[in-house]
Structure 1
Amino acid sequence: MSIFPKISLRLEVEKYLKEGFMNKEVVSALGKQEAERRFETLLNHLSHPPSFTTVRVNTHLASVQHVKNLLLDELRKQFNGLSVPILQHPDLQDVLLIPIIGPRRNIKKQQCEAVVGAQCGNAVLRGAHVYVPGIVSASKFMKAGDVISVYSDIKGKCKKGAKEFDGTKVFLGNGISELSRKEIFNGLPELKGIGIRMTEPIYLSPSFDNVLPNYLFLQNLPSAVVTHVLDPQPGEKILDLCAAPGGKTTHIAALMRDQGEVIALDKISNKVEKIKQNALLLGLNSIKAFCFDGTKALKLDMVKDAEGKPPFLRESFDRILLDAPCSGMGQRPNMACSWTLKEVTSYQPLQRKLFTVAVELLKPGGVLVYSTCTITLAENEEQVAWALATFPCLQLQPQEPQIGGEGMMGAGLSSEQLKQLQRFDPSVVPVRDTDIASLGDARIEDMIWLANKDCIGFFIAKFIKCKST
């Protein structure tokens, strides 16, 4: 049952999204009422966290069973002896699923309050503690050790350092302050540690702050599906065109048993450093990360570059992952998005530039996987229709594993083509409450089904390049 209102969007953005979800093809197939109901359900889901926390095991360093045992011990400590099951995904053997308990509706609100930014609030709903940079406001007399109620300023209206805030805020649960108000706001600018340790969050979800960092990578379920769909093989040369922070890059290297070459590109230098840190942490040596703009990754002259740095010659890669920059409208929880329509629609041209480069860099017979963490028709199915019309050398491929639903109608793709796509749409299940008692009675098959459905909004398409361009 919903505990938060639906995601708050600018009117122009909501109208744009609704037009996509209620296009002629969809309305003709489902009827206007059902299409509208599904759209409203989706907006409601986006403001709530998924039903499961998903972690990927670094199989390069340890077995799934070994890591699962370590994680069970860790969760017992975190949840004060409470026994929460950890499930191994049957189709993604390196993925573990932990059900989220909540929403817990009987938490007593405290007089002492702290307000955090929306991004920090979203992280808290998925198990994080509150770090000092995320705190926007705190009650006048807040001291270290106080029990305080934590709220999210979902619309970004609270002034930094305010003593109280009466604007739109959402209750996230209670925690214990590690610092006083004075230390938080008059302290050293480099204070970056935990400011509030969450003890009674509305959604009880494990914290992965420095938990088994060599063995686990916190990753949404569809993000783990993508790499399995790419199906990298030992000895291949693979390109991750927009790679930061490296979750999929490191997954590619692990599935290849760290044999071969994984090139990771991102145009923001501190994000590239993050990829390198993650590769080091997970003990993966096959990854080479470069700070480079993916739209310029194709080498236009034919002079051979012996160093293996970007830009690259045509047809250099066996497989390419284009996890494209996107409007991110599938991320959860997200209670408010202040983006303008211009910002939301700005990604389609960039995605096409990157896609064109990817097609040129792919060897004949090679595989290209395109993915986004958004729900718009323009960035997903419309891009597939455009790609098939623009590049006769590409063929759409069935995906393995197929965990999401088929693609959405409205871009002129055939029903056969839509079946070859994966669209993860959380609106297909109702928002639900999960408590410890219901977990004890639940069948494993039902829990896996729920984890597959109630995740973030996401899209995957897989192509094969039949002949040289």
Structure 2
Amino acid sequence: MSFRRRNIKKQQCEAVVGAQCGNAVLRGAHVYVPGIVAASKFMKAGDVISVYSDIKGKCKKGAKEFDGTKVFLGNGISELSRKEIFNGLPELKGIGIRMTEPIFLSPSFDNVLPSYLFLQNLPSAVVTHVLDPQPGEKILDLCAAPGGKTTHIAALMHDQGEVIALDKIANKVEKIKQNALLLGLNSIKAFCFDGTKALKLDMVKDADGKPPFLPESFDRILLDAPCSGMGQRPNMACSWTLKEVTSYQPLQRKLFTVAVELLKPGGVLVYSTCTITLAENEEQVAWALTAFPCLQLQPQDPQIGGEGMLGAGLSFEQLKRLQRFDPSAVPVRDTDLGSLGGARLEDLVWLANKDCIGFFIAKFIKCKSTEKDP
């Protein structure tokens, strides 16, 4: 996907969609009927429509026009008339507007070779390689939905071993199971369970293999933690409050504590977020190294993102062992994309960071001794 905005002529006939639908359209989706909030009075099937997103949720359902805060998403062809969309009958679920000129070139991969392909952002694929799962291991994906990293872990293990995927939202767990079935991955077991409660404290071993689990049960653990999501792009959300951002840190630490307890000595723990804040990333690493003397920060392979950010008290050597994708920190420069076939590695790294989501990765190993990381 390219994040370069296109210049598109706006049409007189308009439709307004909700912010969640707007996010999906920015990332390559068509407009489905439930997402349409308003439409011009005389809109009919076959019309060329300019689509806008109501980012503040102020537009009334069924409105004929909207003068509030809205963001242009591009043009499309209406599949239905205004009357059909807002007819008062049970809600339609199909495509309402087929996007033909989105402002960002992000083609949809929905139902394109679904048994072979699973679309992921570059950092999401990198983090699983950093975890480096091996055949025969028992691996925990602590906050797994919708299962992109879970299925990638199973694929890298050649579907040999056991991948436990947890998420506390039932319909998201069903999505993980569906993806595993679609891709023919038998090593995945998905459970609807709160990751903060995944540690069994009574030390009575269960034979069913369901959560919670005994301490030191897993060879490797991925904690792709809930976060403020400030690295996601394109995104209709244009502001976050300090309270919203700082609210994630306690939850992340609860999950991290559980992960350390569940990890075997010598095991690998990878912590990642799709945000760019110091509080949710480098500060969490600094806290973890102090709170858990058994943890040592490890180099990462592959190392495509930049180094960690100053400000959390980590040494320069420790910052080099972190991996941060932050497009806002990459200087703009002209690059001929057609000449990248023989490009240097540093040029490819620059391009990867410039044109991807914001993301953070830290890799730890749990040692038997309490020797501190340098």
The TM-score normalised by the length of structure 2 is 0.92
Specify whether residues 455 and 138 from structure 1 end up closer, same or farther in structure 2 by C-alpha distance, changes over 3 A only. Answer: same
Moved more, 182-191 or 398-407: 182-191
Deviation at 1:180, TM superposition (A): 1.0
Deviation at 1:164, TM superposition (A): 0.3
Specify whether residues 340 and 436 from structure 1 end up closer, same or farther in structure 2 by C-alpha distance, changes over 3 A only. Answer: closer
Specify whether residues 151 and 379 from structure 1 end up closer, same or farther in structure 2 by C-alpha distance, changes over 3 A only. Answer: same
Deviation at 1:118, TM superposition (A): 2.0
Specify whether residues 441 and 238 from structure 1 end up closer, same or farther in structure 2 by C-alpha distance, changes over 3 A only. Answer: closer
Moved more, 160-169 or 457-466: 160-169
SS in 2 for 1:275: helix
Q: Tell me the alpha carbon deviations over residues 244-284 of structure 1, each in whole angstroms, 9 at most, x when there is no partner.
A: 00000000000000000000000111111011011011110
Instruction: Find the counterpart in structure 2 of residue 292 from structure 1.
Output: 193
Instruction: Find the counterpart in structure 2 of residue 339 from structure 1.
Output: 240
CA distance in 2, matches of 1:437, 1:303: 60
Cα contact 2:22–2:236 (8 A) shared by 1: no
Q: Which has the higher helix share?
A: 1
Specify whether residues 397 and 443 from structure 1 end up closer, same or farther in structure 2 by C-alpha distance, changes over 3 A only. Answer: closer
Instruction: Find the counterpart in structure 2 of residue 205 from structure 1.
Output: 106
CA distance in 2, matches of 1:443, 1:467: 40
CA distance in 2, matches of 1:112, 1:132: 17
CA distance in 2, matches of 1:183, 1:431: 46
Cα contact 2:6–2:104 (8 A) shared by 1: no
Q: Tell me the alpha carbon deviations over residues 90-121 of structure 1, each in whole angstroms, 9 at most, x when there is no partner.
A: xxxxxxxxxxxxxx654222111001122222
Specify whether residues 345 and 180 from structure 1 end up closer, same or farther in structure 2 by C-alpha distance, changes over 3 A only. Answer: same
Which has the higher relative contact order, 1 or 2, with Cα contacts under 8 A spaced 6 or more apart? 1
Query: Sequence identity, in percent?
Result: 95
Cα contact 2:48–2:78 (8 A) shared by 1: yes
CA distance in 1, matches of 2:178, 2:205: 30
Specify whether residues 148 and 375 from structure 1 end up closer, same or farther in structure 2 by C-alpha distance, changes over 3 A only. Answer: same
Aligned residues: 366
Deviation at 1:343, TM superposition (A): 2.3
- The partner residue of 2:225 within 321, 324, 345 is 324
CA distance in 2, matches of 1:180, 1:431: 43
Specify whether residues 309 and 334 from structure 1 end up closer, same or farther in structure 2 by C-alpha distance, changes over 3 A only. Answer: same
Moved more, 283-292 or 130-139: 130-139
SS in 2 for 1:210: coil
What is the Cα-based RMSD across aligned positions, in Å? 2.4
Deviation at 1:401, TM superposition (A): 0.3
Deviation at 1:382, TM superposition (A): 0.5
CA distance in 1, matches of 2:341, 2:317: 40
SS in 2 for 1:409: coil
Specify whether residues 235 and 442 from structure 1 end up closer, same or farther in structure 2 by C-alpha distance, changes over 3 A only. Answer: closer
Specify whether residues 361 and 381 from structure 1 end up closer, same or farther in structure 2 by C-alpha distance, changes over 3 A only. Answer: same
Cα contact 2:306–2:323 (8 A) shared by 1: yes
Deviation at 1:444, TM superposition (A): 10
CA distance in 2, matches of 1:209, 1:258: 24
Moved more, 420-429 or 286-295: 420-429
CA distance in 2, matches of 1:439, 1:192: 42
SS in 2 for 1:319: strand
Deviation at 1:360, TM superposition (A): 0.5
SS in 1 for 2:348: helix
Cα contact 1:266–1:294 (8 A) shared by 2: yes
Specify whether residues 229 and 444 from structure 1 end up closer, same or farther in structure 2 by C-alpha distance, changes over 3 A only. Answer: closer
Cα contact 1:429–1:454 (8 A) shared by 2: no
Q: Tell me the alpha carbon deviations over residues 430-466 of structure 1, each in whole angstroms, 9 at most, x when there is no partner.
A: 5689999999999998566413432111110000000
CA distance in 2, matches of 1:282, 1:173: 33
Runs of 4 or more above 4 Å deviation: 430-448
Deviation at 1:308, TM superposition (A): 0.6
Cα contact 2:30–2:98 (8 A) shared by 1: yes
The TM-score normalised by the length of structure 1 is 0.74
Deviation at 1:126, TM superposition (A): 2.1
Specify whether residues 435 and 247 from structure 1 end up closer, same or farther in structure 2 by C-alpha distance, changes over 3 A only. Answer: same
Specify whether residues 125 and 466 from structure 1 end up closer, same or farther in structure 2 by C-alpha distance, changes over 3 A only. Answer: same
Written as runs of structure 1 = structure 2, the 5 A alignment for 1:44-443 is: 105-186=6-87, 188-337=89-238, 339-429=240-330
Deviation at 1:428, TM superposition (A): 3.1
Specify whether residues 437 and 383 from structure 1 end up closer, same or farther in structure 2 by C-alpha distance, changes over 3 A only. Answer: closer
Deviation at 1:340, TM superposition (A): 3.5
Q: Tell me the alpha carbon deviations over residues 28-55 of structure 1, each in whole angstroms, 9 at most, x when there is no partner.
A: xxxxxxxxxxxxxxxxxxxxxxxxxxxx
Specify whether residues 137 and 128 from structure 1 end up closer, same or farther in structure 2 by C-alpha distance, changes over 3 A only. Answer: same
* Unaligned 5+ runs, structure 2: none
Specify whether residues 417 and 437 from structure 1 end up closer, same or farther in structure 2 by C-alpha distance, changes over 3 A only. Answer: closer
